Chain A
């Protein structure tokens, strides 16, 4: 171990190598780990080459804000972090595009772009600490996806280091590009299992000047769903349409843009929400606080070792049926659930509060039963975070949205010795 630390230090410099004595709890590792955080791309390439020659499994990471994602790693004791690669490579406000090194934090990017009244339109729960490389690797998104899409829609290109140290690029910095295969989206969401992303280019947006949110407390989930559906099928152009709550649902519809348009839309939603128990309007800072609250709940749950966070993906019309299945299974176990549903995309997050002392077993069983029933709705269930004990006994991903055989071969071709995030991706992918 000490030897390993020294050998990485010889490549990237002593300051850039740390020993984490306690390991990383979320990864299920309680023995010491080594974190290597190269200061230059060249150093990172050399570190990867070294790991490859010595067959040292690597866990690529940014700031470690998404360790809760994925299955537990197998054998990985070395974290390869991009956190010291945090430059803005290029930002041209008039083109509304920016290129950032992977270790740059989203929060810092927003600060820089904000000076030009622009932003990168992504609002993942871990937005405060997440790096751009992490966001790209996990394709994580938030409520704003209703208006702007996910990283898959906003990322224009990237650069990555393959396990043999080869430096490759996909896409570019322009908003349309069909030259060759789409390597950008191949890396997006690949959780660092194909290569280490070191740079990514994005399409940017102007910050909507006027922001307002309608918050409607509804009497039932059916009423909430019906209001959300009416908004989605109307002429309105919301920034987000969220259904949240435990027993009593609240619908939040956010708008941004020109004051006159925002005002019109807010009024329209108020008139659609006639049967709401209560309607509030939040604007300006209040809007930002409500938006942040949506994210903070999930962010906290991701970090909470007693919570199970599920992402259930279905078509819009299956959102409530899927929730009902979950509620039934959860009630049987006397657990509680807090839902956050990004309605237009059908992405539903459920924070399951388990009894103290609930065994890993019951969690695993819950997930299995839920998966089976949600599959019948052509939906999928991903476990975004779970107590480590439960994780040891389950596959967090479930069925992939494409042929596993092709994915497995892809991994074998690009990382033949399975050194990158071994074990963390889909079952069947080394």
Chain B
């Protein structure tokens, strides 16, 4: 696995840095022992490993700014880290250096229900905001499946989505204002109390920049009113094309469901074995459709969805009639990843997006690739957005299998790009998809982005070794040819 650890590391005097950082945040807020560093060597993309030299836990924006200024003065690479649930290797210290762990900056500073806003620190876990706002009838809409663990800071860096972003949009649509520490340590504010940017949209440029253009230290998020009602349906199909075509048809009928999620045979089998939901053994696809909003007229819409699915030969359609039943229908989807852990030693989750109408074609290609490499690939995904998550199952201790996983990933993402899609819809490029950037972008496109980076982050000290092929530190996937 030599090629998944960096070939270069910075040299730093760990004791001196630990000592200096302790002066900023206190000795109990700095870690550098080897065992602790192991905890921070990877994120949700466990194939990639690179240890930081030091981890520091700031409490305030001023701390973050001082740490960043210190790192600049000493030319030490640094990056922010939230919960470490990222799936592209964004939160690992590529060349070593300092990880600024945002977990102690985890206060909800203000709920401003009248203006539908909440002001939070970056270490706040996504779901906490919803938990705090729900008594007022509000929630924070972007809901990554990892929402019980991932932080708002991480969400901003990745511009995260979730099952309900089909209707409500992704992170960038739900942030009003942020206080940011720029890569030189300066503190600035982007966004405003009003809604429209004045001047270049620096806030949007920061969101989704995978933590390479600045560190968010205070965030004003927009809150969304809880819908009056929900209607959740689960349909089982014996043919995957029937399921994906139902997705297109539901959308084309003019409805915008809150969520349209799909799972294929391998996932169904895994959740079935793990939790026994009672799915038929010959099920090829399960589609979960959720409507939300006004209760008036919802019944008719649900009936229309049932009709569409039935016309497409859905075998079995369940409709939830209570909150408990809704949770049950969602349970299979939410536990999909967990279930996979039981049937494979390792897995790699891809994140391509394709135009919805291309889903049948692209899934067929995924199955062909699975056959070609003799590798199990499970699919659980945000079908309404055309955002597929092929999960490649393998054994990371077998170098041959590992190579195959990377090659197969490349083929899948190439197909996504070929049909007009993209290589990542919500997980980011990180270290994992650096090589695939050239499938999508011309050298000129990449140059423009690098110009932007050099403007914010001229010495490339903030989270180096990510996103850009030119930043490859020898651990990314290599494209053949």
Q: Measuring CB to CB, which residues of chain A are less than 8 angstroms from any residue of chain B?
A: 92-97, 117, 139, 141, 149-150, 152-153, 162, 166-170, 172-183, 185-186, 188-190, 194, 205-206, 209, 229, 232-237, 257-258, 260-261, 264-265, 311-318, 345-347, 377-380, 382, 397-404, 406-407, 409-411, 413-414, 425-426, 429
Question: Closest chain A residue to B197 by CB distance?
Answer: A401
The residue from B114, B204, B385, B428 contacting A182, defined by CB atoms under 8 A apart: B204
Query: 4 closest pairs, A vs B, by CB?
Result: A313-B194, A400-B199, A185-B204, A402-B202
- In the bound assembly, the distance between CA atoms of A177 and B425 in angstroms comes to 4
Q: Which residue of the partner chain, among A183, A311, A313, A316, contacts B192 with CB atoms under 8 Å?
A: A313
Closest-by-CB residue of A relative to B204 is: A185
A174-B422, A178-B158, A380-B192 known; A397 and B199 CB under 8 Å? yes
Known: A180-B429, A235-B294. 19 other contacts (CB 8 A): A95-B357, A153-B173, A167-B444, A172-B420, A177-B425, A178-B158, A180-B449, A180-B467, A183-B452, A189-B196, A209-B254, A311-B196, A313-B198, A316-B114, A379-B192, A379-B194, A380-B192, A399-B198, A404-B199
Given A178-B158, A185-B172, A185-B204, A401 and B191 contact (CB-CB distance below 8 Å): yes
Residue of B whose beta carbon sits closest to that of A398:
B198
- Contact between B173 and A182 (Cβ–Cβ < 8 Å)? no
Q: Which residues of A contact B197 (CB under 8 A)?
A: 139, 152, 189, 400-402
Return chain B residues, CB-CB under 8 Å to A183.
445, 448-449, 452
Q: Is the CB of B296 within 8 A of A264?
A: yes
**A97, A168, A177, A411 interface centre (most CB from chain B within 10 Å):** A177
The answer to whether A261 touches B420 (Cβ under 8 A) is no
Asked whether, in the complex, the Cβ of B296 is within 8 Å of the Cβ of A346, the reply is no
A344 to chain B, nearest CB (A): 8
Most buried by B among A92, A186, A377: A186
Q: Are B190 and A345 in contact (CB under 8 A)?
A: no
Q: B448 to A261, Cβ gap below 8 A? A: no
B228/A406 in contact, CB under 8 A: no
B301–chain A nearest beta-carbon distance, Å:
7
**Min distance, Cβ A154 to any Cβ of chain B, angstroms:** 10
Residue of A97, A153, A169, A406 near B169 (CB, 8 A) is A153
Once the chains bind, are A379 and B193 in contact (CB under 8 Å)? yes
* Contact flag A174-B421 (CB < 8 Å), given A181-B209, A264-B294: yes
B15 touches A (CB below 8 Å): no
Cβ contact within 8 Å between A265 and B294: yes
Task: State whether B356 touches A94 (Cβ < 8 A).
Answer: yes
The smallest C-beta distance from B144 to any residue of chain A, in angstroms, reads: 12
Cross-chain contact A260 with B429 (CB below 8 angstroms): no
The answer to whether A189 touches B201 (Cβ under 8 A) is: yes
Measured in the bound complex, the distance between the Cα atoms of B205 and A258 in whole Å is 38
A176 touches B165 (CB 8 A): yes
User: Which B residues are in CB contact (< 8 Å) with A186?
Assistant: 200-201, 204-205, 452
Chain A positions within 8 Å of B201 at CB level = 152, 185-186, 188-189, 402
Task: Return chain A residues, CB-CB under 8 Å to B159.
Answer: 178, 182
- B451 and chain A: residue at smallest CB distance: A413
Given contacts A94-B357, A380-B194, contact A181 B254 (CB under 8 A): no
Question: Of A175, A206, A257, which one neighbours B385 at CB under 8 angstroms?
Answer: A175
A-B contacts, 23 of them at CB < 8 A, read: A94-B248, A94-B357, A117-B254, A174-B421, A174-B425, A178-B428, A179-B440, A180-B429, A180-B441, A181-B453, A190-B200, A205-B256, A260-B296, A261-B297, A264-B297, A313-B193, A313-B195, A317-B114, A317-B115, A346-B193, A347-B195, A378-B192, A425-B199
